[in-house]
A and B are shown apart, each in its own frame.
Chain A
C-alpha cells in the first residue's frame, strides 16, 4: 500500500505535471501552425525555424540587457513585419497557382533550410543556454515543481485563451473566419482579404517566436532546434483537427500525456512510434481530425 501511494505521489503525479508542461510547449508551437493552415491552406514547413528565430532574437536582445519579461512582448512584435514580408514575398507569389500546396510546402521547406544555415553562420553550431529567469521551485505534497514550469503553464493557458478570443471574439477574427470560409464572398463584402492573409501569417509566426523565447531557457538554443518540436506539433494539428484551436489544445495534451506516461512502462524510444501510430490511426478513422473542419467552422 505504501509503495502504491509512493508510486502515485512520486512517479505518476510528477509525470502528469511534466507531460503537461511539454504539452503546453507543443501547443504553443502548434497554434501558429494550425492558424496558418486553417486560413491560408498553407503547410508552413519553416514554422520550426521561426520558433528558432524567436529564440535567437531573444538571446541576442538579452545579451544587450533587455529583460526577459520585455522580450516576451518585444520578440513576437518584431517578428510581425518578418511574417508579413515572408507572406508577401514568397507565399502570395504562388498562392493562386493550382499546385499551391506543393509550391508553398517546397518554398517554406527551402526557407527553413536557408534559415537554419544562417543561424549557423551567425551564431555558430554550438549550443547556447540562456539563464532560467525564474529559479527555484515549489514543494507540494513532497514533490518539487520548478517555478519556471509553473509559470510556463500559466502563460501557456493565457496564450491559448487569448488566441481563442482573437479568433472567435474579435472583428479581426471574424474577418479571418469569413475569409477562410469563402474568400470571394468575404472580399465582395469589403474584407481586405490580402491584408487579412498577411496578418494571419504574421500572427502565426509571432506565436512561434513567443514559444521560442518561452522555451529557450528549458531546451537551449542551437541551429537545428526548429526540427525539435515540429513533428510533434504537426501531429497534434493532424490529430486535433486542421485549423481548430480546440483541436490543437486537445491533440497536444493527449499526445504528450500518452508519451510521458508511456515512458514509465516501455523504453522511451517507443514514445515517437506510439505518437505517430496514433496519428496514422486518426488519419484512417477520422481524416479531418477529432475537431476537424476549416477554421471558419471551428
Chain B
C-alpha cells in the first residue's frame, strides 16, 4: 500500500514538474460549425474569421506565451450532431474553449454540454434572444448582436427619421415571423410610434395583393416585414406593381434582404432599411485593416459572421491574459464586464447575461448594396438584462 502511494505521489510530482513545460503546449479551441449543407457559407465565414485572428495572435507570440490551435468539427447545423461533436472535443481532445455553433438550437444544446464538462463556450453567430435571455447559461457567452439588438437599432433609427410614424406589420406565419413582428412592435411602441395594422401571411404565400386593400386603408407611413427568401421577391415585386412603394418607408428583419436574393430583387429592394451589427463599410481603422487582411487571406469580403468570429479570438485572448490562466472559473470571471477591441470598435461583455454590447448600424439598400445610414450606440440597442440564472 505504501509503495503504491509513493508511486502515485511520484507520478503526481512528475505531472507537476511537467506543468512548467505546459507553457509551451498550445491552447486548444474547439470549433463546432457547419462545414457542409445549407449553412456551410456561414461556417466558411466563421472559419476564415477564426483562422485569420489565430494567425495574427500566434505571430505576435500567442496567449500567455502559448500558441493557439483550432480544431474543427462539422456541426451540420443540427443540434444532435453538434452535442456529439462538442462532447468529443471536451472529453477526448480536451479543448480549453469551444465556439462556432450557428444554429441557435445547437448553441443552447452545446451550452448544456459545456455546463456538464465545466468548460466555457461562445457563439459568434446565433441570433435567438433566448441564448442570453430566459435560457442563459453561466457557461455560454455571445459576442455577436442578438435579434433584439438588430430590431432595437432599427427602431431607434426609425424614431429619429420618422418620429410618431404609423407602422404596418407583415410577417410570415410561423415562430420566426411572429417573434420578429412582436419584438419590433414592442420596440416602436415604446418609442411612441403607432401600430396601424398587422398581417401574418402563410409561409410561401404566392400573392400578397389581397392584403394591399387593408394595408392601404390603414394608411401607414412605414411598413415592417420579416418575410424571407422567395417570399421577399414576390412581396416586394407586388408592392412595386401596386405603386405602394411610393410614400412608404420599408424596413424589416436582417434576413429579409440578403446577398442571396439581393441580385434577383434588383430595383424593388432599393431603399430597404434594416439593423445590423456589422458592415464591411464601417469607417474605423481596425475594420479597414481587418477587411484588407480578410480579403487577402480568403479571397472574399467578410460579413458579420466572419467579423464576429475574428473578434472572438481577441475576446478569449483578453480574458485569459486577465485571468492569467485557462481555468474555467477564472476565465469566466475575467470575461464578465470585459472590454475588448474588434473590427466593430470596442465591445463590452455584459456581466449579467453574457451578451456583448456593441454599436449597431441601420443600413439601407442603395444601388444594390447595403450602405450605412446611421450608427446606433450599443447601450441604446442592447435592451434590458433578462437573465435570471446567475
A interface residues (Cβ-Cβ under 8 A, vs B): 6-7, 10-12, 14-15, 18-19, 21-22, 126-129, 132, 137, 144, 146, 148-149, 217-220, 222, 228-229, 259-260, 263-264, 267-269, 271-272
Contact of A260 among B199, B210, B230 (CB under 8 A): B210
* Binary per-residue interface labels of chain B (38-66) against chain A in the complex, 1 for a CB within 8 Å, 0 otherwise: 00000000000000000000000000000
| Interface contact A10-B213, CB-CB below 8 Å | yes
When the two chains form their complex, are residues A14 and B241 in contact, meaning their CB atoms are under 8 A apart? no
| Known contacts A229-B206, A268-B199, A269-B200, A220 near B230 by CB under 8 Å | yes
* CB interface residues, B 206-263, toward A, < 8 Å: 206-207, 209-214, 216-217, 229-230, 233-234, 237-238, 240-243, 260-261, 263
CB-CB nearest in chain A for B230: A127
Query: Please, which residues of chain A bring their CB within 8 A of the CB of B214?
Result: 11, 264
Q: How far is the CB of A151 from chain B (nearest CB, A)?
A: 12
**Nearest 8 interchain pairs by C-beta:** A18-B209, A11-B213, A146-B241, A14-B213, A129-B264, A260-B210, A127-B264, A220-B233
For the complex, what is the distance from the CA of A7 to the CA of B217, rounded to whole Å?
8
Q: Are B206 and A21 in contact (CB under 8 A)?
A: no
Which residues of chain B are near A22, meaning CB under 8 Å? 206-207, 209-210
Contact of B234 among A12, A15, A21, A219 (CB under 8 A): A219
The answer to whether A220 touches B237, judged by C-beta atoms less than 8 angstroms apart, is: yes
Q: How far is the CA of A129 from the CA of B231 in the complex (A)?
A: 12
- Whether B367 sits at the interface, judged by CB under 8 Å, is no
Q: Could you tell me if B230 and A268 are in contact, using CB atoms closer than 8 angstroms?
A: no
Inter-chain contact A6/B265, CB cutoff 8 Å: no
Q: How many chain-B residues does the 8 Å CB contact rule pick out?
A: 34
CB distance from A62 to the nearest CB of B (A): 14
Please report whether the interface of chain A is mostly helix, strand, loop or mixed according to DSSP. helix
B202 interfacial by beta-carbon distance below 8 Å = yes
Question: How long is the Cα–Cα vector from A132 to B238 in the complex, in angstroms?
Answer: 10
Query: Are A222 and B200 interface neighbours, CB within 8 A?
Result: no
Q: Which residues of A contact B229 (CB under 8 A)?
A: 127
B386 at the interface (CB under 8 A from A): no
Q: Once the chains are docked, how many angstroms separate the CA of A98 from the CA of B268? A: 53
**Main secondary structure on B side of the interface with A:** helix
Q: Which of B206, B210, B237, B264 contacts A15 (CB 8 A)?
A: B210
A1 to chain B, nearest CB (A): 16
Chain A residues within an 8 Å CB radius of B387 = none
* Given A21-B209, A127-B261, CB of A269 within 8 Å of CB of B238: no
Per-residue CB contact flags for chain B residues 282-301 toward chain A (1 = under 8 Å, else 0) read 00000000000000000000
Q: Is the CB of B383 closer than 8 A to any CB of chain A? A: no
**Distance in Å: Cβ of A189 to nearest Cβ of chain B:** 45
Please tell me if the beta carbons of A271 and B202 are within 8 angstroms of each other in the complex.
yes
A6 contacts across to B, CB distance below 8 A: 217
Q: A132-B241, A144-B242 are in contact. Are A18 and B210 (CB under 8 A)?
A: yes
A22 to B206, CA, bound (A): 9
Least distance between B116 CB and chain A CB atoms (Å): 39
B260 CB to nearest chain A CB (Å): 6
Asked if A126 contacts B261 (CB within 8 A), the reply is yes
Contact status A268-B260, CB under 8 Å: no
- Which residue in B206, B211, B266, B268 is a CB contact (below 8 Å) of A263? B211
Whether B210 and A10, one on each chain, are in contact in the complex, defined by CB atoms closer than 8 angstroms, is: no
- Across the interface, do A137 and B242 meet the contact criterion of CB distance under 8 Å? yes
- State whether B207 touches A219 (Cβ < 8 A): yes
- Say whether B173 faces chain A, with CB atoms less than 8 Å apart: yes
B201 at the interface (CB under 8 A from A): yes
